Amino acid sequence: MSNGQWYPPEWPDRIRALASGELTPTTPKRAATVMLLRDTADGVAVHMLRRRTSMAFAGGAYAYPGGGVDLRDSRPVRWGGPSLAVWAARLGVDEAAAQAIVCAAVRETFEEAGVLLAGLTPDTVIGDTTGPEWEADRQALVDRELAFADLLDRRGLVLRSDLLGAWARWITPEFEPRRYDTWFFVAALPVGQRTRNASTEADRTVWIRPCDATAGYDRGELLMMPPTVATLRTVAPYATAADALAAADGRDLTPVLARAEMADGELVLSWPGHEEFTKHIPRGGPR
């Protein structure tokens, strides 16, 4: 392999099973992930975590904080920023789903990076989320002992949806057993807050320039999934975190879904609009 594209060896067999009707696609679960950005003297850096190699899905791959939408993410919260109607139109879902997706993005960022996009008023943001009490709340969220809405309500906080910008949407291929319909967001690290490795699924975290991350991927040194590489490449040109956030409204959120087909005697796996990830597998090839 010339780069660091995550490519499970079982994919060819699963693709063939899907084509023959032996495999029924599972329904993707909604999910959200956040590219946390901060300005440095060398340009914008993004916060990434490396998934533990023991993970069944994408073990060892670099990714962003994120995860699946929880049913309780639909519970009403104090809301700041664009209305739910605006978010629904932007994300291509109804208002209830829009709230759940945005809440999941904010909740997962707090759970996995210790960063909370919320404030005491619609125009402020919490400056410090460290200490025993914050850690207890974060762990209670992870353990599903505390709903995100209850955390915000108890602390008198407003969710700052305006601190997020929707960037992309990718759907896990139909031949994967674990499937997610994932919205990717960008956000600037709030002043006074700092990230940390708070995820049990990650063995390390880094702040890295998007161009350096993709260069590591191109050399085969950093393992990543196609959505991660694609979003890194598209955010790399922006000089500041504010520039990237301002550009989010113009981003195309048409879902990207991998396609597999037989062509000229070989299996071709592609992601429409992202030719660099195309794989050609000879008929009867790796099994």
State which residues form the domain around 130. Answer: 25-251
Is 150 among the domain residues? yes
Q: What is the mean pLDDT of the chain?
A: 90
* H or E segment and range at residue 231: helix 226-235
Look up the pTM and report it: 0.92
Is 50 among the domain residues? yes
Is 163 among the domain residues? yes
Residues 229, 232, 234, 236, CA torsion sign: negative
What is the pLDDT, as a whole number, of residue 286? 45
User: Can you list the alpha helix ranges (DSSP code H) found in 83-131?
Assistant: 84-91, 95-113
Structurally, the chain folds into a number of domains equal to 1
DSSP-assigned letters across all residues of 193-230: -------TTEEEEEEE-HHHHHHHHHTT-S-B-HHHHH
Is 202 among the domain residues? yes
Q: pLDDT tens digit string along 229-248?
A: 999 999 999 999 999 999 99
**CB distance 69 to 30 below 8 Å:** yes
Q: How many helices (H) and strands (E) does the chain have?
A: 8, 14
Number of other CB atoms surrounding residue 206 within 10 Å: 16
Q: pLDDT tens digit string along 142-178?
A: 999 999 999 999 999 999 999 999 999 999 888 888 8
Is 57 among the domain residues? yes
Is 275 among the domain residues? no
Q: pLDDT tens digit string along 6-39?
A: 667 777 787 878 777 888 888 999 999 999 999 9
Q: Could you give the C-alpha distances from 217 to 77, 79, 229, 233, in angstroms and in order?
A: 39, 38, 8, 11
DSSP-assigned letters across all residues of 29-69: EEEEEEEEEEEETTEEEEEEEEEPTT-TTTTT-EE-SEEEP
Q: Give the CATH number of the domain where residue 178 resides.
A: 3.90.79.10
